[in-house]
A = this chain, B = another copy of it.
Amino acid sequence: MNLKEKKVNSSTVYDGKIIKVEVDEVELPDGRHSKRECVRHSGGAAVLFVKGDEIALVRQFRYLYGEETYEIPAGKLNDGEDAQQAALRELEEETGYRAISSRHLLGIYPTPGYTDEIIHIYFVADAVYAGQKLDEGEFLNVQFVPVKRVLEMISEGAIKDAKTVCAVLAYQLSNNN
């Protein structure tokens, strides 16, 4: 069965700093038309930085959830940046650590029903301290937490961020095998 949906029309309903929202009219496989609400995003990049036996976690206030979260260092791609550049830039800005080497761990679709964001996650084990460089208006704390404790925090629901859960579980599974 062909499942493809074709764009018939698109209108931009919001164009902001982080997201752009479009409502597209699409033709479904059976020829009928429907609407798709589309949050367009430049892409996300994140780093699982493991120093010895500890993972770098960023504690920050997430306005959308009204609470502080623990997440691996991450951010959005700037104009002209690729995901790896963005990931390593965010690692250095947020934690102060400059990666010596890195490898791609996973690319994830955070919530494919309404956003086109792809979050690329890199793994870093070697890095040198070069000093934290937070953006203006960026408030966060960095903590190094033992892998075992991070796994418990995921089980207990104290860590819920999807990119962090994906990265940590993938790392742990690759170590088990």
Contacts and interface: CB of A to CB of B under 8 A. Distances in A.
Given A3-B59, A34-B137, A108-B165, 15 more contacts: A24-B63, A28-B139, A29-B61, A29-B139, A38-B64, A39-B114, A62-B109, A64-B115, A107-B160, A108-B161, A115-B115, A154-B170, A162-B162, A169-B170, A172-B173
A44 interface: yes
B162 A163 contact: yes
Interface string A121-164: 00000000000000001011100000000010010010011110
Interface residues of A, number: 69
A26 B114 contact: no
A122 to B, nearest CB: 14
User: Number of copies of this chain in the oligomer?
Assistant: 2
Interface of A: 1, 3-5, 13-14, 16-19, 21, 23-24, 26, 28-30, 32, 34-39, 41, 44, 59-65, 68-69, 71, 76, 106-119, 137, 139-141, 151, 154, 157, 160-163, 165-166, 169-170, 172-173, 176
